[in-house]
Amino acid sequence: MALAAALLAVSATAFGLQASEALKAPNNDWNWALPQGFPQPRVPASNPMNRGKVAIGHRLFYDTRLSGNGTQSCSSCHLPELAFTDGKTTPVGSTGDVLPRNAPSVANSAYHRTFTWANPALTSLESQMNVPLFGTNPVEMGVSDKNRGKILRRIKRDRWYKKRFPKVFRWSKKPVSWFNVVRSISAFQRSIVTGTSKYNRFLGDKANLASDERRGLSLFMGEEGECHHCHGSFIFDDQSTYAGAPVERLKFHNTGLYNVGGTGAYPTGNQGLYEITGKKKDMGAFRAPSLLNVARTAPYMHDGSVKTLMDVVDIYARGGRIITDGPYAGDGAKNPHKDPLISGINLSEQDRRDIVAFLKTLTEKDYSKDPRFSDPFKKKNKRK
Ligand code: HEC
Ligand code: HEC
């Protein structure tokens, strides 16, 4: 709880937000190339999209000079070839701190209503970025009061940035500022909207699903599988939002992954919404993540404790996970805080394989092969 409160305090003060500056943004020259069925993303009035800003954010996202000791960039834990996740159970920050949670994708994050695994207070990409940049518990990028000026000087000295910042942030007295760094990276992340998966092409009548994938789809969308209740949106979550969307109640769910010692508890440090609200009923409640690209984002769940998609489906079929020994032993299926929709499903071996086959149709074209999103510091991706 202390952590959440501290983060909120940071977001209000970290940049000394200059509202008047925010209103004088350059002309909006942005065109969304929206996939079929994807609505217009919501963009904060204080940070309109434009191409120059997205280009700066793209480079900064991959720039290790942005971390205190120059060893990490955002892309260290959000790799394009792994759909902007990192393949690890939990990542390690730039100074060696182990993070408690698995790195989620930043693709299609323009549509998220809240950010990170269970924090209803982080409602914009801009505010989320305080965590990796300035967070101290744990340290990720390791930007602090001591080095924040020095890091900006590194950016200012770079010829590529020197040319672009003053153009894009014409009205800023100091174009290279943390405020503008955060706005640029947010705009880049917002720009990562794609719908190239086989399932998307199927929706547009441009691809066929094989018979196992179709059976998986109907199990996923049907009342037996129940998956669609929490993963039923166009990005397969239940919190997504877009321009003009009605405001719905925010949902977080306990899916019965733990029941430490039969008390209903989740492991300390990873107790979900409970860490923010302190309410027992929120124990183990996490956000249902988007399932786009899920075949590339293993390992799974908030703590990366589930290795394969088949293991995930087995847990849902059982109605929770049983852990037989060790410090976290307990039967998650009997967790008193579990969402009633996680009640166990009668699935044959073939059904399980079909669901996994369907989940694999949600894989997008490799982001590391798309020059709009790939690492601009890699020679082969250089545009100019
Ligand atoms: C050391 C690894 C690491 C680094 C470096 C890192 N992140 Fe993350 N990121 C994570 C983890 C872990 C989470 C989940 C945190 C949580 O749920 O508490 C996360 C969550 C996010 C989310 C939320 C996504 C969602 O679906 O809710 C965004 C957006 C994000 N990071 C952007 C960034 C940006 C931008 C940077 C660079 C300024 C960055 N990250 C640097 C590990 C990292
Ligand atoms: C009651 C809501 C709910 C239902 C029903 C549900 N899920 Fe989930 N799903 C979640 C939540 C919440 C998480 C994250 C849980 C955590 O990390 O503790 C999750 C995580 C996942 C993940 C891991 C994703 C990742 O990136 O780590 C997959 C895969 C998944 N669900 C697939 C399914 C399938 C398949 C079904 C149907 C058999 C299903 N879900 C039904 C809420 C639900």
Task: State pLDDT tens for residues 55-113.
Answer: 999 999 999 999 999 999 999 999 999 999 999 999 999 999 999 999 999 999 999 99
382 band by pLDDT with thresholds 50, 70 and 90: low
pLDDT: which is higher, 267 or 248: 267
pLDDT of residue 23 exceeding 80, the answer is: no
225 band by pLDDT with thresholds 50, 70 and 90: confident
Query: What ligand has the least distance to the C-alpha of 67?
Result: 1
Find, among 317, 292, 309, the residue nearest to 356 by Cα: 309
Q: pLDDT over 70 for what percent of the chain?
A: 91
Residue 157: per-residue pLDDT? 97
Answer for the pair 192, 106: CB distance below 8 angstroms, yes or no: yes
381 band by pLDDT with thresholds 50, 70 and 90: low
Residue 27: per-residue pLDDT? 55
Strand partners, 109: none
Which residues have a Cβ under 8 Å from the Cβ of 344 and sit 6 or more positions away? 317, 318, 319, 320, 333
Whole-number Å distance, alpha carbon 132 to ligand 1 midpoint, is 6
258 band by pLDDT with thresholds 50, 70 and 90: very high
Binding site membership of 125 for ligand 1 (Cβ less than 6 Å): yes
Structure tokens at 328: 């976290």
- Mean pLDDT over residues 230-256, rounded? 95
Residue 20: per-residue pLDDT? 42
pLDDT of residue 295 exceeding 80, the answer is: yes
Binding site membership of 75 for ligand 1 (Cβ less than 6 Å): no
The rounded distance, in Å, linking the Cα atoms of 226 and 255 is 12
3-state secondary structure of 286: strand
The pTM of this model reads: 0.93
DSSP letter at 330? E
Binding site membership of 91 for ligand 1 (Cβ less than 6 Å): yes
Average pLDDT score over the chain: 92
241 band by pLDDT with thresholds 50, 70 and 90: very high
- Name the CA dihedral angle for 185, 174, 156, 135, rounded to a multiple of 10 degrees: -50
Binding site membership of 142 for ligand 1 (Cβ less than 6 Å): no
The Cβ of residue 121 has, within 10 Å, a number of other Cβ atoms equal to 14
Binding site membership of 83 for ligand 2 (Cβ less than 6 Å): no
Which residues have a Cβ under 8 Å from the Cβ of 10 and sit 6 or more positions away? 130, 134
4 band by pLDDT with thresholds 50, 70 and 90: very low
The Cβ of residue 58 has, within 10 Å, a number of other Cβ atoms equal to 23
Whole-number Å distance, alpha carbon 106 to ligand 1 midpoint, is 8
Binding site membership of 139 for ligand 1 (Cβ less than 6 Å): no
224 band by pLDDT with thresholds 50, 70 and 90: confident
The protein residue with its alpha carbon nearest to ligand 2, atom 6, reads: 227
CA–CA distances in Å: residue 209 to residues 204, 213, 225, 361:
12, 6, 19, 8
Residue 29: per-residue pLDDT? 85
Binding site membership of 239 for ligand 1 (Cβ less than 6 Å): no
* Lowest mean per-residue pLDDT among 5-9, 216-220, 248-252, 292-296: 5-9
The CA radius of gyration of the chain, in Å to the nearest whole number, is: 21
Which residues have a Cβ under 8 Å from the Cβ of 6 and sit 6 or more positions away? 137
Binding site membership of 182 for ligand 1 (Cβ less than 6 Å): no
Binding site membership of 342 for ligand 2 (Cβ less than 6 Å): yes
Binding site membership of 112 for ligand 1 (Cβ less than 6 Å): yes
Query: What ligand has the least distance to the C-alpha of 189?
Result: 1
The protein residue with its alpha carbon nearest to ligand 2, atom 10, reads: 288
Query: What ligand has the least distance to the C-alpha of 344?
Result: 2
- Please provide the size of the chain in residues: 384
Task: State pLDDT tens for residues 152-190.
Answer: 999 999 999 999 999 999 989 999 999 999 999 999 999
Whole-number Å distance, alpha carbon 160 to ligand 2 midpoint, is 42
Binding site membership of 78 for ligand 1 (Cβ less than 6 Å): yes
List domains and CATH numbers for the chain. 2-194+366-381 (1.10.760.10), 198-360 (1.10.760.10)
371 band by pLDDT with thresholds 50, 70 and 90: very high
Binding site membership of 305 for ligand 2 (Cβ less than 6 Å): no
Helical H runs in 278-322? Answer: 309-318
With the most atoms of ligand 2 within 8 angstroms of its CB, the residue from 312, 323, 355 to mutate is 312
The rounded distance, in Å, linking the Cα atoms of 39 and 20 is 30
